[in-house]
Structures are given as structure tokens and as C-alpha cells.
Amino acid sequence: MSSLSNVSVCTRCLAASVLATFPNSALTEPTGSDRQDAHPAALRRALTHIDDHADQPVTVAEIADAAHVTVRALQYAFRRHLDTTPLAHLRTVRLSHAHQALLAADPGEGVTVTGIAARWGFHHPGRFAALYRECYGHSPHRTLHGS
């Protein structure tokens, strides 16, 4: 991967983190068309896109495009039907994939928690470990080593 594409990936990850962390009052209530576009078929397309691309850098705009709806309609659909956001769902899917990879891995072959975490889009080992512990009740290291 070239350093320019690394910068692009880092920039997108930083932007997504900032938007997820800080409150945003720019969004108003969903419009009628957003509500109309937030139907289960659009949500299914979005979920499929997330599942198919969980190991790649994904933006909310890309998910919305794959679902054939606006970003606002996508966000509304996730909130209405799943009580979450598209990026929170993506993080949950990635965490699940990382968990399955940790269960299947053989640490004797040089597999590491950090390597698996990075493969699934978690580039900060401490943050990954905290999310993992919150979800699974123990450390990813414990899962990898079967203890």
C-alpha cells in the first residue's frame, strides 16, 4: 500500500472517529423522503454491503450508496430498525469477525492479536482490547491462547 493511500485511509478513519465522538447538531429530524427510503430492503442492502466489506475501509456514504439511499435515510433506517448507527454496526461486525479469527487462530504459527485486530480495521490495539473486553467479557489475548 503506498504512503498516499495510507494517508487517505488514516484521514478517513480520523474523520469517522471525530464524527462519531463529537455531538453533531447539524442533522435535523428525517424528512418524509428519508423515512420513505428507510425501508427494510434498503437496510438489507446496507447490511449485506457491511458484511461483504467489513475487512475494508468503509464510509457511511459508501454504505448509503450500496443501499441506494441518502446518508440521512441510511442513518434513520439503522436507528429505526436496529437502534444503532451504520458505523456502530460495522464495528460490531468487525469485532465479531476478529473474535472468530482469534478462536480459529493458532498462536504457535505467529498469529497475534494485533495482526488480527488490524486485519479487521482496529488499528489501535488498546482500543480494540477495550471494545473486545466490553463485548466478550475477557481479553482478546485470552481468546487467542484458549485460556
Q: What are the tens digits of pLDDT across the range 27-80?
A: 445 555 444 556 889 999 999 999 999 999 999 999 999 999 999 999 999 999
Q: Is the pLDDT confidence value at 2 over 80? A: no
Q: Within a 13 Å sphere around the CA of 9, how many CA atoms are in the beta-carbon half? A: 13
At 39 the pLDDT is 81
Q: Residue 84 is placed in which grid cell?
A: 444503532
At 110 the pLDDT is 93
Instruction: Mean pLDDT check: name the lowest of 37-46, 48-57, 101-110, 128-137.
Output: 37-46
Mean pLDDT of the residues in the chain: 84
At 73 the pLDDT is 94
pTM (predicted TM-score): 0.73
What is the residue-wise DSSP string for the chain? --HHHHHHHHHHHHHHHHHHHS------SPPHHHHHH--HHHHHHHHHHHHHTTTS---HHHHHHHHTS-HHHHHHHHHHHHSS-HHHHHHHHHHHHHHHHHHH--GGGT--HHHHHHHTT---HHHHHHHHHHHHSS-HHHHHTT-
**What is the rounded distance in angstroms from the CA atom of residue 112 to the CA atom of residue 105?**
9
